[in-house]
């Protein structure tokens, strides 16, 4: 299946580039899957997720940010995340 790209402005770099719209199962590592499991149970914060999964706090924040960028997770409040759609379930529908 081909990638779906969208044009995005990156203000910190003052440039326009392309990014993939959604992640798929092939893009997910063990940390991503652990975070998605937690998100399937309910809203989470990065410190909570880092403690539960054993991954570094900054790494967890980076991964949650990537999920937000790709539309799988929504930041509902400063530091609070909830699942929009699980990319693993998207793969099962194909």
Q: What is the pTM assigned to this prediction?
A: 0.72
pLDDT in tens, 3-18: 455 566 667 777 776 6
- Supply 5's token pair: 């790209």
Of 24-28, 39-43, 74-78, 82-86, which has the strongest mean pLDDT? 39-43
pLDDT in tens, 25-34: 677 899 999 9
Domain boundaries, the chain: 23-92
What pLDDT score was predicted for residue 65? 93
Which element (helix H / strand E) includes 73?
A: strand 73-77
What pLDDT score was predicted for residue 13? 77
Range 23-92 has CATH code 1.10.10.60: no
Residue matched to tokens 């400063």:
78
- Supply 67's token pair: 């999920």
* Lowest-pLDDT choice from 15-24, 31-40, 60-69: 15-24
Q: For 70, which DSSP code?
A: T
């Amino acid at each position: 299946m081909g990638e779906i790209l969208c044009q995005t402005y990156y203000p910190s770099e003052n440039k326009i580039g392309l990014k993939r719209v959604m992640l798929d199962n092939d893009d997910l590592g063990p940390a991503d899957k652990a975070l998605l499991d937690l998100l399937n149970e309910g809203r989470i914060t990065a410190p909570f997720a880092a403690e539960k999964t054993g991954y570094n706090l900054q790494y967890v924040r980076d991964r949650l940010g990537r999920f937000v960028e790709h539309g799988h997770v929504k930041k509902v409040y400063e530091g609070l995340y909830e699942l929009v759609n699980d990319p693993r379930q998207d793969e099962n529908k194909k």
